[in-house]
């Protein structure tokens, strides 16, 4: 079963038209990427080629059947002397020969070489599927990195617009107070500067958002129309067990599985090379038709033969100058290299898993702290705003509380999506990313 079919169930979960709504959900984004991402399309062609190569038609187990036909025409000057002393001279004597045959060639035994070659091809097919899975996993990480960047910018635009709204309200109040002589022009000018700065920040962030949406659309195969929005909600799994997840990592990590498959392929390679030490036994057969039209000097004017022939042949390369010995040695060295690579991957994988686990736990705690920081900043802003309206504090203190709240919201947005990406990176290392229900 191909990688594409393996994830077909995910596509079935999206049965309603995407463009009937403006909100692109995570589930829909995954389905679109699996169907339209260019990298996934390309790796699926590699899987298809590997599958074709591992077919029985490319195994060497089937016989070869060939058809042959030929015709020869002769025009000769012949002088023939017969046993009774007669002499015949033929000028321009014509003769012709025609033949046709169907020939069969089948290898009965080749030292089990084709058996191990076929197993190698099957192993390469499975390795290519693992490579396709790795491509899909990395594409999913890329997808959600961009997706959550869009989500972060979307939430930032909301927070910035709220800040801009507060700044505009402050400017309006400052103008009223100035008109009625309750404030100085300095407060009005200060409020205008803050409105302008907040407007510029909103404009820049909105541009970043549009750019990020184009990046997301590219990952999805450029199938979305302009003006789409995404679902900014994320949830976290707080009940991971580190030991169980690490066991899954050793069983399911795609890099480790590829290393193990390469070892199996290399083992078959050694056996395939050793098969050259043994003889090859083949079966040959033929069904043929031959017709000879002889000239007048021949005893038989015309002859036609039809029939079946068959037989066995044996070929044993007793010594080939040492090339087989060299190939076997190199195949053993290649197996040793694959085992070293696996050992290196295991050591690296342990480090990467622990880093990913700690990174997720750290970012999750930071996100929780940022959430609490928002509550504190919101409470501080509410009190500062009330005091500012009563004229108990200056606009500088009010602006500081406003900026602190905005920074807390932006930092919380960043922490939220960074934590989610860290979770997905941890799941990718453990081989569980494609089992997540988005």
Nearest residue to 291 (alpha-carbon basis) of 67, 66, 73, 65: 73
State residue 299's pLDDT score: 67
Provide CB contacts within 8 A for 101, sequence distance 6+. 67, 68, 69, 286, 287, 288, 289
State residue 391's pLDDT score: 86
State residue 82's pLDDT score: 67
Give the other-Cβ count within 10 Å of 57's Cβ: 10
- Tell me which residue range forms the domain holding 374: 3-36+112-277+322-435
Q: How far apart are CA 361 and CA 431, in angstroms?
A: 18
Specify if 253 maps to a domain.
yes
Provide CB contacts within 8 A for 290, sequence distance 6+. 97, 98, 99, 303, 304, 305, 306
CATH number of domain containing 207: 1.20.1600.10
State residue 237's pLDDT score: 81
Q: What is the mean pLDDT of each run of 10 residues along the chain (438 residues)?
A: 43 40 88 96 97 94 94 80 71 84 94 94 97 97 97 97 95 88 86 96 97 96 90 88 96 97 97 94 93 74 88 92 95 97 97 97 96 96 93 92 97 97 96 85
State residue 252's pLDDT score: 96
Specify if 405 maps to a domain.
yes
Strand 302-315's sheet: what is its strand order? 64-81, 87-109, 280-293, 302-315
From the centroid of its chain, how far is CA 164? 44
Q: In this structure, which long-range contacts are made by residues 341-344, counting pairs with CB atoms below 8 Å and at least 24 apart in sequence?
A: 341/259, 341/262, 342/256, 342/259, 342/260, 342/262, 342/263
Q: How far apart are CA 183 and CA 173, in angstroms?
A: 10
State residue 12's pLDDT score: 39
Specify if 30 maps to a domain.
yes
3 state SS of 340: helix
Specify if 194 maps to a domain.
yes
Domain count within the chain: 1
**Report field, pTM of the whole predicted structure over 0.75:** yes
The token duo for 45 is 């062609």
């Amino acid at each position: 079963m191909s990688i594409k079919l393996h994830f077909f169930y995910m596509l079935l979960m999206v049965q309603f038209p995407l463009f009937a709504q403006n909100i692109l959900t995570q589930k829909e984004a995954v389905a679109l990427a699996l169907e339209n991402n260019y990298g996934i399309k390309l790796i699926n062609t590699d899987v298809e080629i590997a599958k074709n190569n591992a077919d029985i038609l490319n195994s060497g187990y089937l016989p070869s059947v060939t058809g042959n036909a030929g015709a020869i025409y002769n025009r000769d000057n012949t002088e023939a002397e017969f046993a009774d002393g007669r002499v015949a001279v033929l000028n321009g004597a014509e003769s012709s020969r025609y033949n046709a045959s169907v020939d069969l060639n089948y290898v009965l035994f080749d030292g089990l070489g084709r058996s191990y070659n076929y197993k190698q091809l099957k192993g390469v097919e499975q390795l290519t599927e693992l490579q396709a899975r790795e491509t899909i996993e990395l594409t999913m990480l890329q997808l959600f990195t961009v997706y959550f960047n869009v989500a972060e910018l979307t939430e930032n635009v909301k927070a910035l617009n709220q800040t801009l709204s507060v700044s505009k309200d402050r400017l309006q109040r400052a103008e009223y107070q100035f008109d009625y002589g309750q404030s100085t022009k300095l407060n009005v000018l200060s409020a205008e500067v803050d409105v302008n700065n907040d407007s510029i920040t909103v404009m820049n962030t909105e541009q970043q958002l549009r750019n990020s949406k184009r990046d997301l659309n590219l990952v999805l195969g450029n199938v979305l129309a302009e003006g789409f929005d995404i679902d900014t909600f994320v949830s976290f799994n707080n009940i991971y067990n580190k030991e169980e997840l690490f066991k899954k990592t050793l069983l399911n990590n795609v890099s480790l599985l590829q290393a193990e498959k390469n070892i199996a392929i290399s083992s078959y390679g050694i056996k395939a090379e050793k098969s050259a030490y043994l003889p090859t036994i083949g079966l040959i057969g033929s069904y043929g038709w031959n017709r000879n039209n002889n000239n007048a000097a021949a005893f038989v004017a015309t002859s036609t033969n039809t029939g079946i022939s068959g037989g066995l042949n044996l070929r044993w390369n007793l010594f080939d100058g040492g090339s087989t010995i060299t190939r076997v040695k190199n195949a053993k060295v290649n197996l040793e290299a694959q085992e070293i690579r696996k050992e290196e991957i295991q050591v690296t994988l342990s480090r990467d898993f622990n880093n990913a686990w700690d990174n997720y736990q750290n970012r999750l705690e930071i996100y929780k702290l940022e959430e609490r920081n928002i509550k504190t900043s919101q409470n501080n802003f509410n009190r500062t705003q009330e005091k500012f309206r009563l004229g108990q504090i200056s606009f500088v203190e009010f602006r500081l509380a406003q900026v602190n709240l905005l920074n807390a919201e932006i930092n919380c947005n960043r922490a939220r999506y960074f934590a989610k990406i860290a979770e997905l990176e941890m799941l990718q290392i453990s081989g569980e990313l494609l089992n997540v229900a988005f």
